[in-house]
Structure 1
């Protein structure tokens, strides 16, 4: 299952290992540049396998010191060792045996941040997906489960803290100036869940009593002096533990649960059994330094990693093709948790915005792949929005089709049947089929077919027969490796609205399976007939986004306005506004490109301003309504020949028109939503701030005056308001005195806070316009820019490439060249980060010809470079050849 050589790995080639690993004993003698790792492995040969098969262990840039068989040095003729593998021959046919391997590694030189590395004085591991092989030779695959005992030896002064998975066995002094600690994890786990942390960190402690009455010690480790900023993370952890017990019946299973926050980390966080390691941006928060979005992310990611204890750890993946089985399922669980903690409708809108802006783009481009892929070259490149977010949507559809009770029974059966297993997608789906007695084989195509289904909708009302007919047709466009698609099982939640907004209940239905307010579209073309309908209804379809599809539904402005005004499902009201806005915005782009003035739409303005003024609606929802489709949304809707400058100009003009029309409303909201109360991160207060700041943006655009934003910046007493007002100043008045003063002030105030400085870099990186490239070059020369820190690179270069269409997609292609140079430089030290940045150019073929040609030239430069990592080679080949 190795991927280092860049060969294609196929799901169809899966087979179990020839040897069963029974247990693992690890001893680390930590040293910054020469750490010694002794690995004691006990195996036995699997039944019915080749008795002459050698033991093949994975490695990655390893230095072998010694290898023993049953504590006796092996004859050199019996094994072959390279930095990337260890093959041992002539092993017993039946009885257990012991292999002891000693390797030497250099944590300080490990800039990949995979395996064991040392940064800012802290030893840390990241082993998912294939990082453990950078520590020792090992059968490094997720279906190899064993219990682990870990001994850590280190300098006591530099590393008073020695942590690993499981329960603490004890520790003591170990010679002059050193000490050791021993840990035991009683739950069999794959190597990707191994974790080790050593160093000097501060501690925040609490306890949690489980539903069976056991007391669990909770510990969060952060840099000294930052302990108060971990309070919200601890609160979120305890709420997560309670929620998982109450909602899924899952109880924590060790004596201790630990979180360690570090600043140099490739991922958001990692769910290692009992010892979660986090990027500190998802742990540290206080009102002065964290926005409402930061608090919400901390809450969600703390929950996500904790929920992995069951969906990922206790039940893990048989192979990496099953990645969605832990990630998609756990994203669904953390989405449900956040929805229960906050506003369900607003949370759902946020999820769909993200899905459309990232996953739909992925699904329609050269990097498209199924939720459960059938092959890969580099597994690191499949930690994608398709696996995570679309995987979550597939789980949500199972819950929608089966209903709450049967879904809960299916999850209970999954936990009961597969606890301790390395499972597959088929295992998961079968549990729901068994409890529901429903054939889910067609539904399973959601796991196996790439691409976003398009559902075309047409309606016909027969007043004489009092019937309302809904005709649906589904298609899925060809994707790389999958030219032909089969019809999917698409669950579409619906409502029929009368002219007064009331719900219409038909007397009966025919033509296909109709559940409780749910149409089951299972054929390429299908008609549903509603009988006993006394007036022409307005169809609200795909309520709450019951299926991740694109609806092609030409509804009139009047019908959309009715839905926006009257639907009880808030997501559908927001969607109706979006459907009103997108055609207006796209037409505006055409007008800009033709050199014509942008025409405005009264129906859109009326509907939007009516919702904004409706005080019965929660502020957070009204703020979402004000966030019209983004430039990326417009580009996706246009589908090709994309001119980012025209998109930006059209959207800006239409928002300015709305701002002027509703200026009195927006000014009123600025006053109504303001409060003198102390900051709290709860959903209600966050929603009020969101609406206030949205109103500020519209007021500033209506008046075209920086003073209002500068005044808001001066008055801000929390990071949410401070960073938003700074963004308004920077994005609308980049060269004004007020903006320069605010940027200088922000930098000075937070010079010693890396996470807040990331916001400062990101705000400037996303200032629209072709001047963005010069700004990026200047910021890259700043002493505060640290190219070795993934957070800082993502904040500056990532924000520019992914979130600044007019700056990144300059017509002359200059930005492509600069970002290309950075990707190649980063690839030498951190291939995962470089590959992520490269995906910013995945849609290059959709640009207008001049930009597309420039982008292709830049991508060709990368493709022709020597010594590309497998991560980058895999992405560049797919982007250029698909």
Structure 2
């Protein structure tokens, strides 16, 4: 089939190698907004400067607005033209004052890019190319400008007027209107522009910087939500202090504002001085937010604040360099979160997320390097590869350089490129210059897609005192990159004595840079057990010859928390793979290892809870040549039941040991709740007669959402009569709370029951379900897409449902639709029947008339690769 016929025009492929500096610069920008939900007028005054010796006209990007007038140096002109949606103005000379006036309709902007309406308020989202939906401008990240903004609006409807930078002045106008002016003294690209107008309440605070400046902080929300903002405000203060202490970065404006909105494509946006957040990452109290929500809020608040330096003061030269700001900032927010609680558990959570999202991305049709070479629609490259794998690249460099040299390198980077648009190469060069390290080969991580696979085997001759470690690496082919070169892999290793359970060597950092390498350890007097990739020092897949006994040994004795967790997970994974392939497997080693972990008094509850969790169905499927969802589910349920039944006394003890009330958000109490709810899940697997009542009583009596949702999840996965009662009670209690109702939809979409696909189809017709809200769409459609068993129902009902929803969603919000497509793109990993059904739905999507570039790119690549 011709997969391009559904688009009005063939897709334009943007190539990194085609980058050219902007023909015109815009040192100063003044924007005047006459705000109205139905018709907003935007008057833009641009001071433009020719960049270099050329005769190019001024080209200003636009999308969706109505142009009203164009003037140059105060004189109205009529020789401007539109080429597509780009405004082209012929100019002679080197400097001009260009003014445009346009009209836009925020309340009809369902794409949620540019200026749009949400909950009666007006707000903006400009990354990556949303500013062109507000006014005509060279909308690219390497055009940096100082912005002055004036807003006028109806005072009763929009009493609060916020923009980037610092407030300058406010005043009243006739007719019940008012105005406000803001000024941002720091040059920024257009994607960092922000504006909010609405009826909002504020939780105010202050932060005193290390140089003694007092910064006014504000978190703006609906008045009814004000009580749920204390945690976010506290996290903001912690973030500001942490960035000063760890990276030496001080905040630079007099105010820092955050606004929470319900309709948002992303988690949050780091606009200079005015962060705009999805409300799910701001609002929290014990009754409505889980411990995971609390952690997520702190992490996202930190992430967006850290962008002030790693993203705003230094931005990316072009969108191919997106990981320059995102990968580095994810690494920074991971460090912050690790410092707030258990560093070991945080590392486990980060690696679990990487394996759940990025490893499949690397192994699928949408695989791309951390610094891509081409794209059709930039919004499709806000991916786990750019963010999470990008963070792992920074972590590897920090490991190679060591703490002191890495800090010196980041200082050099911040100082040298402050106020500029930089590249990934600029960052790596600073790492080299500050440390003296040669990172030439390491740069391959930015250009090569795919997850390296490392094979490791160790030989030891009894009585010889020598152990030989043989390592080999390969990077599988990915779309457009059939042949790969060896990467630099920083692998932390240590050997333990199988008899004495003591370390035989110090931890050693091995930089594996060749396809094969052999290392010799002297003085090894007993059989060694290999602990490798400790702390997950490299984002690779390790394939070793360690036996089940070795893995059980490491799960009990390794002194690196992540390696101890990893050994348990690998032991479970090997058992589940064997069960899925052969139909049965020996569970004894896993059960004994879990028992040992539960009995270890030196382990904190949070770590134990993570270590004893079974790998997900999807992760098990990633290990198989062909994914068999039914066999994987049977194998996982069998192991889960055996662990539950044979260790039932321990699970009941763990459940009873953790206090149910009162709720306290702290690392210790979080760990206790986590283990208690893991224990409840294992008890449910036993089919013991009292477990449904136990779960329902927890649900009913809980004073916090963590325990309430865990109990609901347990009940929703089962068949007890309490299941529907709990769903009904949950809905009745939270029907007016959109964020909590998202949990109600999501919990049912993730259920492991036979009828989940039918339930999800019914929920899509529920009065409270709407494709227009990205959170709601993700809570049902997104959750269902990652439910391996339910989504991959053999009759293809799940595939048809997802395709139907994506086609409809694409008409409203192409960005969100495109991000929900990847589950269909993995069709080659499944049996012939399922693969044919998935491919047919992809073909149907691609053939849909009027399809967006966003969804077309994802679907067509999924078919071609």
Same fold by TM-score greater than 0.5: yes
Structure 1 unaligned residues grouped into runs of 5+: 507-515, 593-597
Is the aligned partner of 1:319 residue 2:318? yes
**1:639 equivalent among 619, 625, 635:** 625
Cα drift, residue 32 of structure 1: 1.3
CA contact (8 A) 1:64 1:104 kept: yes
Provide the residue aligned with 1:157 in structure 2: 156
Is the aligned partner of 1:744 residue 2:743? no
Cα drift, residue 587 of structure 1: 1.4
**2:743 equivalent among 726, 751, 759:** 759
Is the aligned partner of 1:118 residue 2:117? yes
Provide the residue aligned with 1:173 in structure 2: 172
**2:781 equivalent among 789, 797, 805:** 797
Judged with a 3 Å threshold, the aligned counterparts in structure 2 of structure 1 residues 134 and 4 are, in CA distance, closer, same or farther, namely farther
CA contact (8 A) 2:587 2:642 kept: no
Is the aligned partner of 1:100 residue 2:99? yes
Provide the residue aligned with 2:356 in structure 1: 357
> 1:57-90 deviations in whole A, cap 9, x for unaligned?
111122110000001101x23x212561001113
CA contact (8 A) 2:270 2:304 kept: yes
CA contact (8 A) 2:660 2:702 kept: no
> 1:410-440 deviations in whole A, cap 9, x for unaligned?
0111111111110001100011101111110
CA contact (8 A) 2:464 2:525 kept: no
Query: 1:124 aligns to what SS in structure 2?
Result: strand
Cα drift, residue 4 of structure 1: 9.7
Cα drift, residue 498 of structure 1: 1.4
CA contact (8 A) 1:103 1:136 kept: yes
Distance across 2 between alignment mates of 1:550 and 1:277: 37
Provide the residue aligned with 2:25 in structure 1: 20
* Equivalent runs, 1:576-591 vs 2, <5 Å: 576-591=567-582
CA contact (8 A) 2:576 2:585 kept: no
Distance across 2 between alignment mates of 1:704 and 1:827: 46
CA contact (8 A) 2:463 2:526 kept: no
* Equivalent runs, 1:646-657 vs 2, <5 Å: 646-657=631-642
Distance across 1 between alignment mates of 2:301 and 2:72: 42
Provide the residue aligned with 2:86 in structure 1: 85
CA contact (8 A) 1:60 1:83 kept: no
Structure 2 unaligned residues grouped into runs of 5+: 1-7
Provide the residue aligned with 2:545 in structure 1: 554
Query: 1:176 aligns to what SS in structure 2?
Result: helix
**2:696 equivalent among 692, 710, 713:** 710
Query: 1:699 aligns to what SS in structure 2?
Result: helix
Query: 1:632 aligns to what SS in structure 2?
Result: helix
> 1:732-766 deviations in whole A, cap 9, x for unaligned?
22xx3211111101100111111111101111111
CA contact (8 A) 1:492 1:518 kept: yes
* Equivalent runs, 1:504-523 vs 2, <5 Å: 504-505=504-505, 517-523=508-514
CA contact (8 A) 1:458 1:472 kept: yes
> 1:317-353 deviations in whole A, cap 9, x for unaligned?
0000000000000000000000000100000011111
CA contact (8 A) 1:61 1:83 kept: no
Distance across 2 between alignment mates of 1:377 and 1:424: 20
Distance across 1 between alignment mates of 2:294 and 2:43: 41
Is the aligned partner of 1:450 residue 2:449? yes
Query: 1:810 aligns to what SS in structure 2?
Result: coil
Provide the residue aligned with 1:54 in structure 2: 57
**2:35 equivalent among 11, 25, 30:** 30
CA contact (8 A) 2:568 2:612 kept: no
Cα drift, residue 800 of structure 1: 0.9
CA contact (8 A) 1:26 1:150 kept: yes
Provide the residue aligned with 2:373 in structure 1: 374
Query: 2:351 aligns to what SS in structure 1?
Result: helix
Query: 2:215 aligns to what SS in structure 1?
Result: strand
Query: 2:180 aligns to what SS in structure 1?
Result: strand
Distance across 2 between alignment mates of 1:110 and 1:849: 41
Query: 2:717 aligns to what SS in structure 1?
Result: helix
**1:806 equivalent among 781, 789, 809:** 789
Is the aligned partner of 1:870 residue 2:853? yes
Provide the residue aligned with 1:510 in structure 2: none
Query: 1:703 aligns to what SS in structure 2?
Result: coil
CA contact (8 A) 1:4 1:870 kept: no
**1:840 equivalent among 799, 823, 826:** 823
Cα drift, residue 22 of structure 1: 1.2
* Equivalent runs, 1:850-869 vs 2, <5 Å: 850-869=833-852
Is the aligned partner of 1:782 residue 2:766? yes
* Equivalent runs, 1:401-480 vs 2, <5 Å: 401-480=400-479
Is the aligned partner of 1:398 residue 2:397? yes
* Equivalent runs, 1:717-732 vs 2, <5 Å: 717-732=703-718
Distance across 1 between alignment mates of 2:511 and 2:646: 42
Query: 1:41 aligns to what SS in structure 2?
Result: strand
TM-score with structure 2 setting the length: 0.97
Distance across 2 between alignment mates of 1:865 and 1:533: 65
Q: Aligned pairs, how many? A: 855
Query: 2:313 aligns to what SS in structure 1?
Result: coil
Distance across 2 between alignment mates of 1:311 and 1:111: 30
Provide the residue aligned with 1:595 in structure 2: none
CA contact (8 A) 1:600 1:654 kept: no
Distance across 1 between alignment mates of 2:425 and 2:462: 47
Cα drift, residue 601 of structure 1: 2.2
Of residues 819-828 and 326-335 in structure 1, the stretch that sits farther from structure 2 once superposed is: 819-828
Provide the residue aligned with 2:300 in structure 1: 301
Provide the residue aligned with 2:5 in structure 1: none
Query: 2:567 aligns to what SS in structure 1?
Result: helix
Provide the residue aligned with 2:501 in structure 1: 501
Query: 1:818 aligns to what SS in structure 2?
Result: helix
Judged with a 3 Å threshold, the aligned counterparts in structure 2 of structure 1 residues 28 and 90 are, in CA distance, closer, same or farther, namely same
**2:648 equivalent among 659, 663, 666:** 663
Distance across 2 between alignment mates of 1:639 and 1:118: 47
> 1:690-721 deviations in whole A, cap 9, x for unaligned?
00011111112113442221222122111000
Distance across 1 between alignment mates of 2:727 and 2:9: 44
> What is the alpha-carbon root mean square deviation over aligned residues?
1.3
Cα drift, residue 459 of structure 1: 1.1
CA contact (8 A) 1:600 1:657 kept: no
Cα drift, residue 522 of structure 1: 0.6
Cα drift, residue 769 of structure 1: 3.9
CA contact (8 A) 1:59 1:83 kept: no
Is the aligned partner of 1:690 residue 2:674? yes
Is the aligned partner of 1:625 residue 2:608? no
Is the aligned partner of 1:699 residue 2:683? yes
Provide the residue aligned with 1:384 in structure 2: 383
Cα drift, residue 872 of structure 1: 0.4
Provide the residue aligned with 2:3 in structure 1: none
Query: 2:218 aligns to what SS in structure 1?
Result: strand
Cα drift, residue 675 of structure 1: 4.5
Is the aligned partner of 1:70 residue 2:54? no
Distance across 2 between alignment mates of 1:141 and 1:402: 33
CA contact (8 A) 1:820 1:858 kept: yes
CA contact (8 A) 1:762 1:795 kept: yes
Query: 1:494 aligns to what SS in structure 2?
Result: strand
CA contact (8 A) 2:717 2:753 kept: no
